[in-house]
């Protein structure tokens, strides 16, 4: 076992034990055993979210070579935990997405509600583990929604009456939206990613490739001229050699003045070298680096900042008006543009390919960090929501629409999240980062930026989308541009998307019946 594995194993074990002891003091003594089971399933759910959802988010960064797995884990650890603790919210909905309406069902006890949520956590986490081990990136939101529907329907059939049927408990319009998202999410992600990356490839990557080819030809011409000049020089008489050398020395002195006039050069050698250098300068080889990338960076940072401020921090009362928020985004974008422009200037004498790789790597680290924070502040609710509902019902004996979330829950589940990324996230990272298509920092940045853009636009328009499916669609869009898409691998992934809802529902239904009979 590696030191990192040992570290996260010990950390997860320690925080889990501490969390259980905390919970024993939070709920009534008669509920301690049920709390223990719920805590195991809740932590296991967060663990599997890390292995699938977080791994999915960092797949492009690892696959492109921007981050190593260990570095990705460090970024995830800091930003996922920060997002969960700082912006995860103190209150969460107990029924995820308003997908079922138990209030219309007669005879529902608080313990029935606890069993629904426990079975939902168990079923969703088991399905996520299966999908993660296969390397299938699936929606954790769809998994928990399907699980809640399955256990709720089961209770509905048990308590069904002439007035209320089990099927009437489910808001089927929400289920239809989820089904629609299987097509809409990857399609939108793919279209935006195709457009973004195609233009980046055309105006930056291809521009640099052509410039590098021309620079290579000039370098070869220089090398050839130096060789031929030396051969001619060696054949000259001593007097002619002295004249040539004096002319070259005069030119060296002349060129010390950076504003020298090329017409003042005397030697054939430096006249030719100046001519070739002028050709290289006229190429404007760093034009794309100095103009294109800073502009793209500014736009990208604006999108990611918007996602952080309006989505990642939506549960935080910052006291800022919309105008204040837009001004902050504008300032961040302007600073980013200036920083990337200056950075590009410092790379003028560097290799174009390496410079491009380096600049997009920095951008991709920023987008990955933004995704991690937003993910930690939002999607951890897929584990926290049902668990918070359980301990709220255990402590109050009632079914409440909202439940308080003590900070220790966020911290514990966030640690479980990053532990899941480390222990079981490698397969999903491999799928997203390398198996679907080959990644470069530029294409990885394009995929993450496109996914963030679609998530933001969809949130504003109220479109039913899945961030997981959007990112997969964005990766496929990259593959289409490069003509390197592994469509064969997409078949089981698409099937997993469709199966997620019924699989989680079935497992949850079985779990509910067992819990209700045994506990």
pLDDT value for 512 = 96
Nearest to 196 by CA among 454, 401, 397: 454
Instruction: Report the 10 Å Cβ neighbour count for 412.
Output: 27
Instruction: Report the 10 Å Cβ neighbour count for 37.
Output: 16
pLDDT value for 12 = 95
Query: Phi/psi at 437 (nearest 5 deg)?
Result: -165, 160
Retrieve residue 445's tokens: 């940045």
pLDDT value for 437 = 93
Retrieve residue 278's tokens: 């002028």
Tens digit of each residue's pLDDT (9 = 90 or more) over 338-359:
999 999 889 887 888 888 899 9
Nearest to 148 by CA among 89, 94, 88, 92: 94
pLDDT value for 168 = 84
Cα–Cα distance between 331 and 324 in angstroms, integer?
11
Cα–Cα distance between 167 and 283 in angstroms, integer?
68
Specify the pTM: 0.85
CA distances from 337 to 107, 332, 333, 334 (A): 61, 9, 6, 5
Cα–Cα distance between 49 and 71 in angstroms, integer?
19
pLDDT value for 492 = 95
Contact assessment for residue 332 and residue 417, using Cβ atoms and an 8 Å cutoff: no
Cα–Cα distance between 357 and 372 in angstroms, integer?
22
End-to-end CA distance of the chain: 37
Cα–Cα distance between 410 and 387 in angstroms, integer?
11
Low-confidence ranges of the chain (pLDDT < 50): 90-92, 94, 96-97
Helix/strand/coil for 89: coil
Tens digit of each residue's pLDDT (9 = 90 or more) over 283-295:
777 788 888 899 9
Nearest to 308 by CA among 283, 333, 286: 333
pLDDT value for 315 = 64
């Amino acid at each position: 076992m590696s030191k990192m594995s040992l570290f996260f194993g010990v950390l997860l074990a320690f925080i889990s034990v501490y969390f259980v002891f905390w919970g024993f003091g939070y709920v009534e003594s008669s509920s301690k055993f049920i709390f223990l089971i719920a805590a195991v399933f809740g932590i296991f759910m967060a663990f599997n979210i890390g292995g699938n959802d977080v791994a999915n988010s960092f797949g492009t960064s690892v696959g492109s070579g921007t981050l190593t797995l260990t570095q990705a884990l460090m970024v995830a650890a800091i930003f996922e935990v920060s997002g969960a603790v700082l912006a995860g919210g103190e209150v969460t909905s107990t029924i995820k997405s308003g997908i079922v309406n138990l209030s219309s069902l007669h005879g529902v006890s608080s313990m029935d509600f606890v069993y629904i949520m426990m079975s939902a956590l168990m079923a969703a986490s088991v399905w996520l583990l299966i999908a993660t081990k296969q390397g299938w990136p699936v929606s954790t939101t769809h998994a928990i929604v399907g699980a809640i529907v399955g256990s709720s329907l089961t209770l509905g059939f048990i308590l069904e009456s002439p007035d209320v049927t089990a099927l009437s408990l489910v808001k089927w319009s929400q289920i239809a939206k989820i089904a629609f998202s299987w097509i809409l999410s990857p399609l939108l992600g793919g279209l935006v990613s195709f457009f973004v990356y195609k233009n980046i490839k055309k105006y930056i990557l291809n521009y640099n490739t052509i410039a590098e080819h021309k620079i290579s030809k000039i370098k070869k011409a220089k090398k050839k001229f130096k060789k031929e000049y030396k051969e001619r020089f060696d054949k000259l008489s001593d007097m002619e050699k002295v004249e040539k050398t004096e002319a070259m020395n005069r030119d060296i002195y002349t060129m010390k003045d950076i504003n020298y006039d090329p017409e003042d050069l005397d030697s054939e050698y430096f006249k030719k070298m100046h001519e070739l250098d002028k050709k290289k300068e006229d190429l404007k080889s760093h034009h794309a680096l100095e103009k294109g990338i800073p502009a793209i960076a500014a736009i990208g940072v604006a999108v990611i900042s918007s996602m952080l401020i309006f989505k990642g921090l939506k549960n935080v009362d910052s006291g800022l008006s919309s105008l204040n928020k837009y001004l902050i985004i504008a300032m961040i974008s302007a600073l980013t543009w200036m920083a990337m422009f200056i950075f590009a200037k410092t790379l003028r004498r560097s290799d174009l390919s390496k410079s491009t790789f380096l600049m997009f790597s920095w951008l991709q680290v920023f987008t990955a960090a933004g995704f991690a924070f937003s993910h930690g502040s939002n999607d951890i609710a897929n584990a926290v929501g049902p668990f918070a509902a359980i301990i709220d019902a255990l402590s109050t004996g009632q079914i409440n629409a909202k439940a308080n979330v003590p900070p220790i829950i966020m911290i514990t589940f966030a640690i479980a999240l990053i532990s899941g990324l480390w222990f079981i996230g490698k397969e999903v990272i491999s799928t997203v980062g390398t198996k679907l298509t080959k990644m470069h920092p530029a294409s990885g940045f394009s995929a993450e930026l496109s996914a963030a853009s679609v998530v933001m636009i969809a949130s504003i328009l109220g479109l039913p989308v899945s961030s997981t499916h959007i990112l997969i669609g964005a990766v496929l869009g990259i593959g289409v541009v490069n003509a390197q898409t592994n469509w064969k691998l997409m078949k089981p992934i698409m099937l997993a998307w469709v199966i997620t809802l019924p699989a989680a529902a079935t497992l949850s239904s079985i779990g509910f019946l067992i819990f209700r009979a045994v506990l």
